[in-house]
Chain A
Amino acid sequence: MDVFLQTLVAGILKGGLYALIGIGMTLIMGVMGIINLAHGQLMMLAMYVTFVLNTMGVDPYFSLFVAMPLLFMLGVAIQKFLLNPLLKTETILPENQVLMTVGIGMVLTEVVRFAFSSDYKYITTTYSNQTFFLGNISFSSALTIAFGIAIAFTVAMFFFLVKTDLGRSIRATAQDKDAATLMGVNTGRITVITFGLGSGLVAAAGCLLAPVYYIFPDLGGPFTAKAFIITILGGLGSTVGAIFGGVTLGMAESMGATYLGMEYEDIIGLTIFVLVLLFLPGGFKRLTKI
């Protein structure tokens, strides 16, 4: 029983972080229909920001206040100067915005490699190794805090989208861009803000992951893949779906690792991905209707 509970806890805590990684991507994908394949690389960048701040003595949790605005601005710049112009260009490939994000991801990786080399970096904090116990079940302090913050961000994001004018505009753009434009929504501005928000949220995930993981330039790719799976699991554009998607992926990985073998971790994630595509094409959004 302890084994099961411990696995469950580990999976849920990891899932919270995954949700935060996925929510940025789901937002961008839902609103603009762009699969941002530089998503993990943006997170990697935020982790390096956290790392640099840490060498100056700034705690990773405080670097949230630096990394998020910084990545928000970078996201805005990417959308404004790199992705929006592509909308106006006639090309053979309709999906060249997606290809652009692949390129951006590569550039980010190589720039970081140039600046910091391929060596592993790590942030050691007093709470990196800390745990507390409920009965026999251990909770990693850092991951629990990360889980809390991730949920807070996701809830805030949910209310932002439902209650505020800007949030409503974003949802309107996601539902029907042309109709939104006709109703007076500046959809160009909305896409820019949305990309910024998505980048800021994944930056938060990076800051929260930094104390428990390690940092290297090639870290982006696998996380882009995870974010993509979560987005599909949750259903495009749904914040609640992203939470479910993230936690589902986290739990599936942990359960699989415990009961099947850790070698199969990725296989399990991808199998669920395929099953959801086959049997629940709309993702969990179809179930929650939000």
Chain B
Amino acid sequence: MRGIIRGTTMVAAAMLIVGAMYGGALAADGIKVGVLLPLTGAQAKFGEIEKRSYEMAAEEINAKGGVNGRMIELVFEDDTGKPDVGRSGVEKLISREKVPVITGGYSSSVTAAATPVAQQFKVPFVISTGSADDITEKGYDYIFRINPPASEYPNAVKSFLHEVAKDVKTVALLYENSSFGQSSSKSFEKDAAALGLKIVVKEGYQAGAIDFKPVLTKVKAANPDMIYMVSYLMDASLLMRQSKELRINPKLFVGGAAGFTLPEFAKSAGDAADGVFSATLWVETLPFPGAKEYFNNFKKKYGSETEYHGAEAYAAMYVVADALKRAKSITPKDVRDALVTTDMMTAFGPVKFVSYGKKTQQNKLDTYLVQWQKGTLEAVWPTSVATKKYVYPTPPWDKRK
């Protein structure tokens, strides 16, 4: 019995000493940065990509001497994808961890619930992903957002249609019969109406179908100038394969969802993927310093691929570090003041917090149009960031080599 007590005491003492050393060292040198992300739950896959990107960025920053000699120490808080958990997560970061700045924010609903807390306690929150428009429309002076708001995601498609594909008059709209597919198709309908496009076919389909030919036959008969598809990965590739089989020749194919930008799409669809456009927020071929390096390093370090969510997180870490470097002192107030004057280039693109419309402290970024060209996803629009010139109109199937 006495042995056990002595053993426990010694272990406890050892832990105290080690803890004191660690705590002491960090308290002297480290700067805590709070990160709110969904690390468990349905959104955990993207939460993980973002967490790894934050960690990678923080490691790089620390390796180069940290923030004026002090190391960045990330404090992750799991919001589990639920708004109330996200709220209390931010409260915890502020009151217990006493972080001078918070970043992250994945889903719109969690971000919308968490940002008022940061505002109330006057701790700056740099949003990396949460995209609902109204988050930056409340006039909060402690809330900043790096990614474009949701309503601007299709901007590249719109401007492309407006400036290049002027002869597109009719559209076929195909969407998976899920809530995501339905809401995306509704918002596209609005955009189409604003652009004066006529929707000639509008068809929902059940995800996982073997045969899209009946629907595509209808599309072929309607002969639209453009086909817009809201589809996940494998439906996307079957749609393109069967469009090729039926030789449907619109002037352009546009993917409205992530399915069309994933590498598996091109591998599975083969040459039927060639020429397909898709809207996206970021792609590693964009000519931003560090974009390609980030993508390659991520792949090397974690053995899996990253995408635009990760790039947002990676850039957010650099933006926060930049503000911490420039801040007069590491207090929330001074960090906030430094964030206001942010003007830098990141792997995700230029970051500068501006006010426009109803939005305040919102980074204004282009969204991009990418196109599969010979098996590579190339950024093609806007031309300022293009890695290859767009191929428009898409050549008819029987004219391809």
Residue ranges of A at the interface with B (Cβ–Cβ < 8 Å): 2-3, 6-7, 10-11, 14, 120, 122, 124, 128-129, 131, 138, 140, 209, 212-214, 222, 253-258, 261-263, 265-266
Contact = CB atoms under 8 A, between A and B. Distances in A.
Interface string B200-224: 0001111011111111011011000
A122 B272 CA distance: 15
Contact of B204 (A3, A128, A262): A262
B244 interface: yes
Looking at chain A's contact residues, the main secondary structure is helix
Contact of A212 (B177, B205, B210, B246): B210
B328 interface: no
B233 interface: yes
B178 to A, nearest CB: 11
Contact of B203 (A10, A120, A213, A262): A262
B204 A261 contact: yes
Given A261-B204, A263-B177, A263-B204, A6 B268 contact: no
B217 A14 contact: no
Contact of A122 (B213, B217, B237): B237
B267 interface: yes
B385 interface: no
Contact of A214 (B211, B212, B268): B268
A263 B212 CA distance: 11
B241 interface: yes
B245 A131 contact: yes
Given A3-B221, A138-B245, A213-B238, 17 more contacts: A6-B220, A7-B214, A7-B217, A11-B214, A124-B270, A131-B245, A131-B246, A131-B247, A138-B246, A138-B247, A253-B211, A254-B214, A255-B214, A261-B204, A262-B214, A262-B215, A265-B206
A258 B234 contact: no
Interface in B307-351: none
A122 B267 contact: yes
Contacts of B214: 7, 10-11, 253-258, 262
Contacts of A129: 241, 244-245, 270-272
Contacts of B60: none
A60 B184 CA distance: 37
A30 B270 CA distance: 42
A82 B110 CA distance: 50
Contacts of B215: 257-258, 262
Contacts of B242: 140
Nearest to A122: B268
A250 B207 CA distance: 17
25 contacts: A2-B217, A3-B218, A10-B211, A10-B213, A14-B210, A120-B233, A120-B264, A122-B268, A124-B270, A129-B241, A129-B272, A131-B244, A131-B245, A131-B246, A140-B242, A212-B210, A212-B241, A214-B238, A256-B214, A257-B215, A258-B214, A262-B215, A263-B204, A263-B206, A266-B206
Interface string B234-257: 100110011011110000000000
B279 to A, nearest CB: 22
A138 B248 CA distance: 11
Given A124-B268, A263-B206, A258 B218 contact: yes
Interface residues of B, number: 33
B213 A261 contact: no
A209 B238 CA distance: 13
Contacts of B205: 257, 262-263, 265
Contacts of B213: 6-7, 10, 254
A46 B390 CA distance: 42
A7 B208 CA distance: 19
B205 to A, nearest CB: 4
B177 A128 contact: no
Which interface residue of A209, A214, A222 has the most chain B CB atoms within 10 A?
Answer: A214
B262 to A, nearest CB: 10
A253 B221 CA distance: 19
Contacts of A131: 244-247
A3 B221 CA distance: 7
A14 B242 CA distance: 13
Nearest to A120: B234
Nearest to B208: A222
Contacts of B237: 122, 214
Contacts of A209: 210
A290 B267 CA distance: 46
B245 A140 contact: yes
A190 to B, nearest CB: 33
Nearest to A260: B214
A81 to B, nearest CB: 33
A9 B78 CA distance: 53
Contacts of B210: 14, 209, 212-213
A156 B241 CA distance: 32
A138 B241 CA distance: 13
A131 B245 CA distance: 6
A128 B268 CA distance: 10
Contacts of A7: 213-214, 217
B209 A2 contact: no
A144 to B, nearest CB: 11
B243 to A, nearest CB: 10
Nearest to B272: A129
A128 B206 contact: no
Contact of B217 (A128, A258, A261, A266): A258
Contact of A14 (B211, B220, B246, B247): B211
